[in-house]
Amino acid sequence: MILSKILKNGFLILAACLVLTACATKKEVAAPDISGQMQGDTYTGTDTVNYLADGVPDRVFFATNESILTTASRETLRAQAAWLRKNSNFNVVLEGHADERGTREYNLALGERRANSAKDYLMTYGISSDRISVLSYGKERPVDAGSTPLAWSKNRRSVTVKAN
């Protein structure tokens, strides 16, 4: 039982490593080729994603100027909601972010709107609003310092962070 779990985890980590190296090479070789990591202009890759638990990604991504959740984002948030239900001792902060291609003040509001979009979804899956707080960083804390559409797509995000 335990062994199989370890093996499974090991496999997941290995898979993640493979994906990561694959992405890295792809970027180096052909910078404009981003088809593998973006759908429209929403980021679909995993190289900035952390995990709250096994199979529970910590963040969702948005299209330019948008706060609408994609199908993939909703799936991530349902996994987060399930995790939150199981771990009722944890509260979370939803940190909303924007890319660098917008004015600072508008981006602060946009980050707040994105985080709230995630919050609303978690609430519809039974998570009490008391357990969720929202914090917008606007464009102040990019994960990727690049000035490319791919970098911007990674930065347009809402990240669920354990608050305690």
Partner 1 sequence: MKKNFIFLFLIIIIPIKAFALIEVDITRGNLNPLPLAVSPLSIDDQSKKSFERILNKQNIGSEISIIVENNLRTSGLFNTLNKDAFLQAPDIANLKPRFEDWNLIKAQALITGKVTYVDEKLRVEFRLWDVLAAKEMMALAFTTVPSNWRRVGHIISDKVYKRLTGEKGYFDTRIIYVAEEGPKTQRKKRLAIMDQDGANNKFLTLGNELVLTPRFNPTSQMVTYLSYFKNLPRVYLLDIETGTQEVVGDFPGMTFAPRFSPDGKKIIMSFAKDGKSDIYTMDLENRLVEKITNHPSIDTSPSYSPNGKFIAFNSDRSGYQQIYIMRNNGTDVKRISFGNGIYGTPVWSPRGDLIAFTKLHKGKFYIGVMRTDGKGERLLTENYYQEAPSWSPNGRVLIFYRETKTNAKGEGFSAKLWSIDLTGYNERLVETETDASDPSWSSLLSN
Map tokens 């707040």 to a residue.
112
- 148 lines the binding site for partner 1 (CB under 8 A): yes
* Stretch touching partner 1 by CB under 8 A, among 13-21, 37-45, 70-78, 100-108: 100-108
Q: Does 41 bind partner 1 (CB under 8 A)?
A: no
**Residue span binding partner 1 (CB under 8 A) among the ranges 8-16, 39-47, 70-78, 130-138:** 130-138
Q: Which is nearer to partner 1, 82 or 116 (CB)?
A: 116
45-71: string of b/e by CB count within 10 Å (b at 16+)?
A: bbbbbeebeeebbbbbbbbeebbebbe
* CA–CA dist 43, 34 (Å, integer): 10
Could you tell me the smallest distance in angstroms from the CB atom of residue 72 to partner 1?
Answer: 20
Task: Say if residues 95 and 50 touch (Cβ distance below 8 Å).
Answer: no
* Window 110 to 129, contacts with partner 1 (CB under 8 A): 110, 112-113, 116-117, 120
3-16: b or e for each residue (b if 16 or more CB lie within 10 Å)? eeeeeeeeeeeeee
Residue 28: CB minimum distance to partner 1, A: 9
Backbone angles phi, psi at 115, to 5 degrees: -65, -35
Q: How far is the CB of 111 from partner 1 (least distance, A)?
A: 9
Distance (Å, rounded) from C-alpha 63 to C-alpha 46? 16
Would you tell me which residues interact with partner 1 (CB under 8 A)?
31, 65, 67, 100-106, 108-110, 112-113, 116-117, 120, 134-137, 140-148, 151
